[in-house]
Structure 1
């Protein structure tokens, strides 16, 4: 805890009329001003001790001046002496102030600075280090002000303003809930907007002004419940970004029912509100204090990790927990306590390079989200208690390097930048996670037999990846030749010289300027094809289940969008579309998910999530049969939300497919394709990826901090296939006919006659494919009847006979 007392200030030459000086002190972006002469200012250091470059900034102003510029001077106090000798008081006499031009003035200040620690508070007893009583020091250190104030409260009415900002909620208990926060400030009630889900994001602020007697006003309550005096006597009169533990008022013994993040401040006349410079979705500090009632019990659990091996780490020698190896190291076991429900939403793993016991370089990171490896039972409305966090044994894929640009895709799904991992593949870690309610010291496990049992999860199979590039348009005017690189993991990565190189890039091509701002890559009728082989574990049972769920979700979402497009409630097409949606949902939910109980490689998490997903599909099918045509959109949106909650697959052993746009051997832009979306399954089309062997459009984007903002690097159309090489006989890519791209066509006719149909190409003789009508159409933009070049993209339409 840092303390400051400004003893005196000297203003020379004297000002006329006489000034009303006011001193403000700034430390780590937090400003404070003494309310009376000789008052001690306090800054709490928390878990950030003083550094050699720490400093205090003192600013002297004239509050009585009628001028716009009330600034008199400023000075900086370096705190390095307190770092070297924390038990001594730093006394600065006649410190010279600087003006706007950073030139010395004749104005000075005299002050004292001291560093208070817990042992210092115990030593001084009844003494007073800087005019601050020991009782007040201890109270502010604990941020729990007592009701015995050092100064008697005024009995005259004063103006106060109470501000409450509600950020977000986490781990709220209950299923199918739509939370709303009700804030009662001194008898005045405020409500937030209604949200959906167990982790809602509000970001709303409420104000309430009062003209009350402080002796009475400070006993009023804020429900989210604390007394106003508690907040007013906290540092800065503010609780900044604090987490509140929620409980049931009538049954507090049920424990914490969730968490709410708020900022609350109580300001009197002349008080300056602390400025919160962090964005609403910013990450919390590593150590977070939770405010909760003392009568609410704490439910503890213990997470235990078993780390078996790592592979593909981008170093020749890797040091993990004291062991050096290129691939494997002895099984590591670690455990740490966890409060349930857990305030943190994810567990982050960092692999560090530790040469000579100096862990500085980060190899890769991976984030494991708790809502994907556990369940509170909120997904099911029936009697379902959920399960504690568990994982593996399975691989976690590490990433590093450049990050994807931050975008808020949906309200309530904000992910802080600390969670986002890089784009580059940095290896994998094979680990297992357990959760125990009892102490981890009471849990013992035979690691030798466990290592033998997990080896069956690491059998590899050969996979083939085939990518056909059809067109690339809407590109900037690159001066150098460009090419595309396809990689999955380290396979196909030209930049990684530690592995055998593969033919994973297209031929170098120029970018064509066709008379206006439109650019494209001229591949004509010869389409580049890239084929990459790789070796991965067989997780087809897991991917089949995931693709079936995606098929159900996508069809439900498409029907919902069609339902939303019908704006008139009396439209005769509304009821048939509603019945179609229900019928297809029932059909999709009746498709059985691949059973996990009889799979040797299925983990405990696989079996629990299979049970959760199966029960959810059964519940949705039952509701679809019984639902009435009322509140159609809201009902289906709720079903879609619950279905999205069980979609993520944390035990994804196949890395995503990366397509990089390269220019001059430098990576410029990328597209990331999930491996399961193009994975082929021999069990049927429902278990295959939705884009397996189909044409899809990819919008490339720049990595974070690169390229022009809000600019599209390229518009790519590709056809992709991924599967076991033994299933390559089923590879079906563009066998419908031959694709030919003609040169550009110009039209100078009037508006409405700019559509041009080119002659049909002749098919090759002896080819066993159906004769197709291939039309390549291009629109021309006509401005005022004059000739203009088209700026629209090529589109090829294939009509079957």
Structure 2
């Protein structure tokens, strides 16, 4: 009788998620007691909480048994950073998504999660580092495993520290399929800002491989709003041929549609877009420049969304675009262009007669959980300063309707900035 090998273990698929550390976790009135919850396929796991710590280190690992089913490129992990409360519900401090498409290719990945707050405002200074490990049977290893060993040193993600690095992660090292397929590229042109020139009639032309389309012409504006969608269909073409081709955005002044009518342009290759989460760039600002003279700087800014859809791919849901988008960190620049760093400084001195925000009932609750305090002004004011999607806040002055801050609030930006609005709010 021949001995049959039990290969049940060889067909196991496991995802290991290690929550490493975080930096600059936002605080409310006091330092938080942060912990991380992760959700995958309806399963929840969470770390321990760290007492009064804005830069916690966990180094805690969690395993997800995939029940014999391999990871899919569309799979994501939801991450929530919360403040542990002894009384009442835990407060959400930050949230984010971790796409798993890259770990399928490399089996191990060090990833910095892009976090936002409960209002979907991006937390630029907050960092969360996770390690992802994908354990799968040998016969499930993808075809490029042979070349992977020679490239592991170059493909190491240990030095990934910012969003741009993650976007430019050597998509040219990927092995493209030679199978003939059908693709559709969807491009939405939202608007442009600060276009170069006076009394111009702007029009945007999109060149996608060997196809070309353009928007309508808007009269006498430097900040046109088009909100138009274009579809480019390619039939019977392989990834290797299509993904090396370019998508070019060109904005013209159509008053004089001649050689010198080009205001600015931007180029990006199709494969770069396909390698992003959901094969898409969503609500991205791109910097328009003169390809012949990059030293001239920015010629304007264009907001676009691009989706590259292959067989079986679904378009991502439409995300509402807000004027409060973090423009500076959501900007794609052509090589050779660098904007000057600058700092927006707001000096906050004092305020008078801020209205009472808490009710008398809440004062009674405070007296139960607090000390034998005398009745005070029921307002804890602070100033919130917003510009280009970024927010900073002043210190909190407790129980004072006439606070004095005498403080400077600073927001870093790139000059010239696209944002032309400043929001200042006093909150309790």
Q: Is the 8 A contact 2:15 2:134 kept in 1?
A: no
- 2:320 aligned with 1:279: yes
Secondary structure of the structure 1 residue equivalent to 2:222:
coil
In structure 2, relative to structure 1, the CA distance for the partners of 1:306 and 1:219 (3 Å cut) is same
Q: Out of 199, 206, 222, which is 1:183 matched to?
A: 206
Match of 2:427 in 1: 352
Match of 2:245 in 1: 220
CA deviations on 1:20-73 (whole Å, 9 max, x unpaired) are xxxxxxxxxxxxxxxxx99999xxxx999997554223xxxxxxxxxxxxxxxx
What does 1:423-462 correspond to in 2, within 5 Å? Answer: none
What does 1:97-246 correspond to in 2, within 5 Å? Answer: 116-117=110-111, 130=135, 138=157, 142-146=166-170, 148-150=172-174, 152-196=175-219, 197-211=221-235, 212-224=237-249, 225-246=267-288
- 2:329 aligned with 1:296: no
- 2:40 aligned with 1:56: yes
Q: CA deviation at 1:352?
A: 2.3
Secondary structure of the structure 2 residue equivalent to 1:88:
strand
Matched residues in 2 for 1:83 and 1:191: separation? 54
Q: CA deviation at 1:83?
A: 8.6
Secondary structure of the structure 2 residue equivalent to 1:256:
coil
- 2:63 aligned with 1:90: yes
CA deviations on 1:408-429 (whole Å, 9 max, x unpaired) are xxxxxxxxxxxxxxxxxxxxxx
Matched residues in 2 for 1:114 and 1:283: separation? 35
Matched residues in 2 for 1:239 and 1:304: separation? 32
Match of 1:432 in 2: none
Secondary structure of the structure 2 residue equivalent to 1:311:
coil
Matched residues in 2 for 1:293 and 1:226: separation? 9
Q: Out of 394, 415, 418, which is 1:343 matched to?
A: 418
- CA-based RMSD: 4.4
Higher helix proportion, which one?
1
Q: Give aligned pairs, total.
A: 277
Matched residues in 1 for 2:193 and 2:321: separation? 14
Matched residues in 1 for 2:23 and 2:228: separation? 29
Matched residues in 1 for 2:59 and 2:222: separation? 46
In structure 2, relative to structure 1, the CA distance for the partners of 1:202 and 1:51 (3 Å cut) is farther
Q: CA deviation at 1:331?
A: 3.3
Matched residues in 1 for 2:413 and 2:130: separation? 35
Q: CA deviation at 1:173?
A: 3.0
Q: CA deviation at 1:314?
A: 0.9
Q: CA deviation at 1:284?
A: 2.3
Q: CA deviation at 1:117?
A: 4.0
- Relative contact order, higher structure (CA 8 A, sep 6+): 2
Q: Out of 15, 39, 44, which is 1:78 matched to?
A: 44
- Could you state the TM-score of these two structures normalised by the residue count of structure 1? 0.30
Q: CA deviation at 1:8?
A: 6.4
In structure 2, relative to structure 1, the CA distance for the partners of 1:207 and 1:176 (3 Å cut) is same
CA deviations on 1:122-145 (whole Å, 9 max, x unpaired) are 999xx9654697666738971214
In structure 2, relative to structure 1, the CA distance for the partners of 1:322 and 1:55 (3 Å cut) is closer
What does 1:387-466 correspond to in 2, within 5 Å? Answer: none
In structure 2, relative to structure 1, the CA distance for the partners of 1:326 and 1:272 (3 Å cut) is closer
- Could you state the TM-score of these two structures normalised by the residue count of structure 2? 0.54
Matched residues in 1 for 2:288 and 2:316: separation? 25
Give 5+ residue unaligned stretches, structure 2: 1-9, 26-33, 51-57, 70-103, 114-128, 142-147, 250-266, 357-376, 383-394
Q: Is the 8 A contact 2:206 2:247 kept in 1?
A: yes
Q: CA deviation at 1:227?
A: 0.7
